[in-house]
Amino acid sequence: MTQVPDWLETLAAQAQRIRVPRSLRPPAGRGREAAVLMLFGEGPHGPDVLLIQRSTRGRRHAGQPAFPGGGVDTEDAGPIEAALREAEEETGADPRGVHVLGTMPELYLPYSDNRVTPVIAWWREPSAVHAASPDEVDSVERVPIAELVDPGNRVTLQHPRGTAGPAFRVRGMLVWGFTAMVLDTVLREAGLERPWDATRTEDLPPEVVNMASRG
């Protein structure tokens, strides 16, 4: 059993006060309720976060790295229970070893029409993880925080639609879009971010654009 690090306690304490960009604010009366689990733990290479690579066969967000998560079902007590359930279904993570610290404000994803609540948690007793739902998940990775904050792994990604946002190249994955925006915010608010060159810009690879446009 490992103790919650100070930076994560700090993040959780101020999570509900984190400013939501206008582009991610949920419109009134719109969107399906959903949740993702931001599960941090102490791994072999220091603190890390659990990410999945979504299946390339998926209908939405195909092939994209993401936090475990999904829609809040009617039998769920709320976003926290949904995030824990989805994480177990997708990665096999045992919810009994997860200590939930709090939630961030809802964020809106126009493409999938979801209002997503990020749930902040600490892996008190880590369990083995794998692609537990092959139809939805291709792989599971515990990504070290040290790799996420490495300036050499950071880039600004330009989408063909003209939008741009932060991205990470870690563990053979290009983490971009919603997941990268949340990670960027979390690293900054937790005081972990290292200076990086945000002017280093790359275009979103065509094969990623093609997968992202499906569904």
Helical segments of 36-173, H only: 79-91, 145-149
| Of 98, 104, 101, nearest in space to 6 by CA | 101
**Burial profile 173-193: b = 16 or more Cβ within 10 angstroms, e = fewer:** bbbbbbbbbbbbbbbebbebb
Q: Distance (Å, rounded) from C-alpha 193 to C-alpha 189?
A: 8
Q: Distance (Å, rounded) from C-alpha 17 to C-alpha 37?
A: 19
In this prediction, residue 25 carries a pLDDT of: 85
Beta-carbon contacts of residue 204 (< 8 Å; ≥ 6 apart): 157, 158, 159, 160, 176, 212
pLDDT digits (tens, 9 = 90+) for 100-158: 999 999 999 988 899 999 999 999 999 999 999 999 999 999 999 999 999 999 999 99
Under the banding of pLDDT at 50, 70 and 90, the label for residue 215 is: very low
Whole-model pTM: value is 0.93
In this prediction, residue 198 carries a pLDDT of: 95
Under the banding of pLDDT at 50, 70 and 90, the label for residue 200 is: very high
In this prediction, residue 211 carries a pLDDT of: 64
Q: Are the CB atoms for 55 and 62 separated by under 8 Å?
A: yes
Q: Which two tokens stand for residue 52?
A: 């999945």
Beta-carbon contacts of residue 39 (< 8 Å; ≥ 6 apart): 49, 50, 67, 68, 87, 93, 98, 121, 122, 123
More confident residue, 97 or 213: 97
CA 201 to chain centre: 22
Architecture, CATH, for domain 6-212 = Alpha-Beta Complex (3.90)
pLDDT digits (tens, 9 = 90+) for 15-74: 999 988 888 888 888 899 999 999 999 999 999 999 999 987 755 557 899 999 999 999
